[in-house]
Amino acid sequence: MEKKSDALDAADRTILRLLQQNAYLTTKEIAAQLDLTTTPVHERIKRLEREGYIERYTAVVNRRKAGLSLLVFCDVALKEHNREYLLRFEQFVGQFDEVLECYHVTGEYDYTLKVVVADMDAYQRFIKEKLATLENIGRVQSHFVMTEVKSTTALPV
C-alpha cells in the first residue's frame, strides 16, 4: 500500500473524501461531520486548494445520457520514439474531445487512450479522421468495454 502524505491529518483526509463524494457540501455540513466549527474547516479547504491537493471542482456527467454509449480503450504503438514524435503525439491527442485520458505506458504499446463516442460509426470516424491522420502511428488495438464494473474519480485518501 502506498504511503499517504504526512502533510494530511485525519481531518484533511475526511474533508477530501467528503468533497470527492459531493463537492456541493457546504463548509457547515463538512464541519458538522468533523465536529468542528466552520472557520477551521474553511481554512483547511483553502489550504488543500492552495497546496494542490484539490485541483478543481467538476461535475461528473453520465456519458450514456449524454449520448456517448461506446467506451473504448485504445492502445497505440508509434513507429519511432524520439522526443519530438512523443511530444507531437501527446499534443495532438490532447486536443481530441473523444479522448478522456491518455497514458504513456510500458510494454508492447506506447500509449493507452480512454475514448468515448456515440457508437461504432463514430469510433470509426475518430480512427480514420483523427488518430490515423497523425504521423508516426504504427499500430492501434481497440478494446471495447462491454460492462463497466467500477468507474470512480474518488481517490482512496
Each of the 157 residues of the chain gets a pLDDT tens digit; together they read: 444 556 899 999 999 999 999 999 999 999 999 999 999 999 999 999 999 999 999 999 999 999 999 999 999 999 999 999 999 999 999 999 999 999 999 999 999 999 999 999 999 999 999 999 999 999 999 999 999 999 999 999 9
Count Cβ atoms within 10 A of the Cβ of residue 29 and give its class: 0-12 exposed, 13-18 middle, 19 or more buried: middle
CB-side exposure of 63: number of CA atoms within 13 Å?
16
Q: Which helix (H) or strand (E) holds 116?
A: strand 111-117
CA angle 19, 20, 24 (to 5 degrees): 45
Nearest to 147 by CA among 74, 60, 76, 64: 64
> Which amino acid belongs to residue 43?
E
The C-alpha atoms of residue 39 and residue 89 are separated, in whole angstroms, by 46
Give the domains, in start order, of the chain with CATH numbers: 10-50 (1.10.10.10), 70-144 (3.30.70.920)
Grid coordinates given for 106: 510500458
